[in-house]
Amino acid sequence: MATFLCRALLAAVLAQGTSAVPPRDPLASPPGRGVRDANDARGWVALGRVYLDLLIADRVGRTRGDTVWTHIVLDSADRAFARAAAAFGLVGVSPEGDSARVLRVQVWSERALLVWERSGITRGADVWGPVPGDLRLSPVLEELGENLLRACSAHGVLLTAAAADSYAAWYMRYVRGLRPDLLVVPLAVWRSDPAFRVRAAADLRLGPGGRGGGATWLAALVERRPACISMAFERPPDGGARLRWTARPLVWVAARHSGDDRVPPRDFVFAALRMALDNHDPWARSALALYARAARATPALCEALTTFKIAHEISECRG
């Protein structure tokens, strides 16, 4: 049903003159339809979103060997968002342009997860790359990604929640090369993509308990590596009675053995967030919401937030 709806959306976009997804079957829309105005940035974004919707709808039923069409859709989405970003202008000039760049990072994140699913963790960027040199995020998301990576325990798995934290952390880890000891996985992918889950469980040696979509996989993961949960979530997911979550700045952590590798709250940086709030960056509020939840869980974080003139934006830091 989801795939049908996505194809209906695709047909609507085509009716407005935006180019098509390569067909998967004879019922799909024909290729070769061009965007009427090559500088129609919003049209390119709309088309790119259609590709992403098709990809996400296809994820649940995809088998490990059924990826040719998926790669075509990823390539098409990447071109659409790249055209949109170029039409909107340089980084920071347009909120819509910066959002198009985030969506392009999502495409490359999906490409990386597909490589992991097919070839394993160790193949990495040598298989899904080379990453385009113009793949960029706005400074507030780069800062968010760096902060999340710094917060996670050594050799851990960082599980992310939404667009802002997922693609910020993925970009800083796999494009900028920070914290090579960590893995970054959107929790929704682990839950929704059975082929990815089976491969990840095998690569991480989670055993039979790690292959299912229920709570047992998280307990199995913590037996092997620390689990770091982004505070973009309201609370850490239920992993069973055996798990105990500890709040650290920006993340909750569950680990078989507690370590002393936590970063002091005063060492986190929020300079880009201050600028983003002043400039009404559309991603600033997503970052601020995560930091506010982190301040509630770790009040000592307010000191650093005060240093960068963010504390007055967060009620828990104003008292």
Kindly state the average pLDDT of the residues 226-244.
85
Residue 233 has pLDDT above 90, yes or no: yes
Give the per-residue pLDDT at 24: 44
Give the per-residue pLDDT at 178: 95
pLDDT, tens digit, 9 for 90 and up, residues 44-97: 999 999 998 888 777 665 555 567 888 889 999 999 999 999 998 877 678 888
What is d(CA 20, CA 108) in angstroms, rounded to the nearest whole number? 20
Residue with tokens 């390539």: 75
Give the per-residue pLDDT at 111: 87
pLDDT band at 40 (very low <50, low <70, confident <90, very high): confident
Other CB atoms within 10 A of residue 204 CB: 19
Locate 28 and state its tokens.
Answer: 């799909």
pLDDT, tens digit, 9 for 90 and up, residues 248-262: 999 999 988 666 678
- Range with top average pLDDT, 10-19, 95-104, 284-293: 284-293
pLDDT band at 319 (very low <50, low <70, confident <90, very high): low
Residue 285 has pLDDT above 90, yes or no: yes
pLDDT, tens digit, 9 for 90 and up, residues 176-231: 999 999 999 999 888 888 888 888 888 888 887 666 666 688 888 988 999 999 99
Give the per-residue pLDDT at 66: 62
Residue 240 has pLDDT above 70, yes or no: no
C-alpha angle 284-290-294 in degrees, rounded to nearest 5: 135
Per the CB < 8 A criterion, the answer to whether 242 and 219 are in contact is yes
Per the CB < 8 A criterion, the answer to whether 190 and 159 are in contact is yes
pLDDT, tens digit, 9 for 90 and up, residues 104-154: 999 998 888 888 888 887 766 666 667 888 888 989 999 999 999 999 999
Sheet holding 157-160, edge to edge: 183-186, 157-160, 227-230, 251-254, 246-248
pTM of the model: 0.84
C-alpha angle 117-191-116 in degrees, rounded to nearest 5: 15
Burial code (b: 16+ CB inside 10 Å, e: under 16) for 301-316 equals: bbebbbeeebbebbeb
Burial of 28 per CB tally in 10 Å (0-12, 13-18, 19+)? middle
CA distances to 94, 125, 191, 228, 232 from 161, in Å: 25, 23, 12, 11, 6
The verdict on whether omega for the bond into residue 186 sits within 30 degrees of 0, i.e. cis, is no
Residue 270 has pLDDT above 90, yes or no: yes
Give the per-residue pLDDT at 20: 47
Residue 254 pairs with which residues in a beta bridge? Answer: 227
What is d(CA 28, CA 80) in angstroms, rounded to the nearest whole number? 19
Residue 28 has pLDDT above 90, yes or no: no
